[in-house]
Amino acid sequence: MNCINTTFLPLSITITWTGPALIDQNGAPVGYNLTCINTNGVSVNGLSPTQSSTNTMFTITDVMPFTGYTCELSFINVVGEGPSTQCTFETAQDRPSDTPQNFTTIPNKTAVIFTWTKPATPNGIIIEYTLVVVNLNTLTVRNYTILVSVNQTTVTQLVFGFSPYQNYTASVSASTIIGAGPVATTGGRTLPDIPSSPHLVVSPVVINSLTVAYTVPVLNETTINITWSPPSHPNGEITKFIIRIATDAITSERYSSFMINKALYTLVYGGLKPGVPYYVSVVAANQVGERKSETAIVFTKTDSKI
């Protein structure tokens, strides 16, 4: 007997065969004994109806995509079972049944490394992966199509374009020639960095049409008004603002704790000496540290009439 697979589908095999010639049947026909096993050693169920039917076609549904099968087919007459014929088949590819495995991220300050392995049940040859990365701070979406070799099990993709301490999500799916499987997701945050300088509210000091310095408002002989806003790029969680006031190098720390998450900060600072130049600096600090400060110079008034 000859048997062939008349279909090439991922989830079924339809086998047709020719029965033995009448002269070789040696008795009244009863049916056919069909047994199948896949390349993983798993037997196929649901084949018993062939034993009581003389039909020479049968559809097997207990199969998996992209899997090889070996079947034994023999003729049964009223006396018993004759010799068997062996047939081998392979089901067609399908979309992957599950997601890529071990989807992880390793961020630094400005980039993220994404790594994953192929699905446990690929249902075919994985030809590509689709990676979608979303920057939740800027709502920027980046799409990547990553082609892979036949035997490649691990994939790594480096994604740039981040700033420090930005949140992101990512999804990845695997595709065979049939299509894409389900999506694996992950997320994270890039590493923090020292913040940019806060924005100190200053006025220019102009001499002969040239700006020679910047100053903060002077309220009287001994008091100044220091106003600033948070840095444009905090690059982390701002923990404090440090204000330093000195007559020479910026070395002394006068105030270091302010309520965080305000749009504007003001410090009225008194107790200065009249007619003396002071250096004023404001710096923001986060969990990483502090950057170079925003600095101004201020001259206190020599008397209340100035």
Instruction: Kindly write down the DSSP assignment for every residue of 75-117, as one continuous string.
Output: EEESS-EEEEEEEEEEPPP---SSPPEEEEEEE-SS-EEEEEE
What are the two backbone dihedrals, phi and then psi, of residue 49, each rounded to the nearest 5 degrees?
-60, -25
pLDDT at 303: 59
- Tell me the C-alpha distance between 12 and 55, whole Å: 18
Q: Which domains does the chain have, with CATH numbers?
A: 3-90 (2.60.40.10), 101-189 (2.60.40.10), 199-299 (2.60.40.10)
> How many Å apart are CA 208 and CA 228, to the nearest integer?
28
Q: Is the dihedral of CA 46, 52, 53, 57 positive or negative?
A: positive
- Which residues lie below 8 Å from residue 21, measured CB to CB, with a gap of 6+? none
Angle at 66 between CA 62 and CA 71, to 5 degrees: 50
What local confidence, expressed as pLDDT, does residue 207 receive?
85
Buried b (16+ CB within 10 A) or exposed e, 149-188: eeeeeebebebeebebbbebebbbbbbbebeebeebebeb
Query: What is d(CA 13, CA 186) in angstroms, rounded to the nearest whole number?
Result: 38
Q: Is 280 exposed, middle or buried (0-12, 13-18, 19+ CB in 10 A)?
A: buried
Residue in 187, 200, 199, 195 with CA at minimum distance from that of residue 237: 195
C-beta atoms surrounding 9 within 10 Å: 15
Give 52-72 pLDDT, tens digit per residue: 999 999 999 999 999 999 999
Residue 255, classed as helix, strand or coil, is strand
- Spans of the chain below 70 pLDDT: 248-259, 302-306
pLDDT at 252: 59
The reported pLDDT for the residue numbered 21 is 86
Closest CA to 175 of 122, 120, 104: 122
Structure tokens at 88: 């081998």
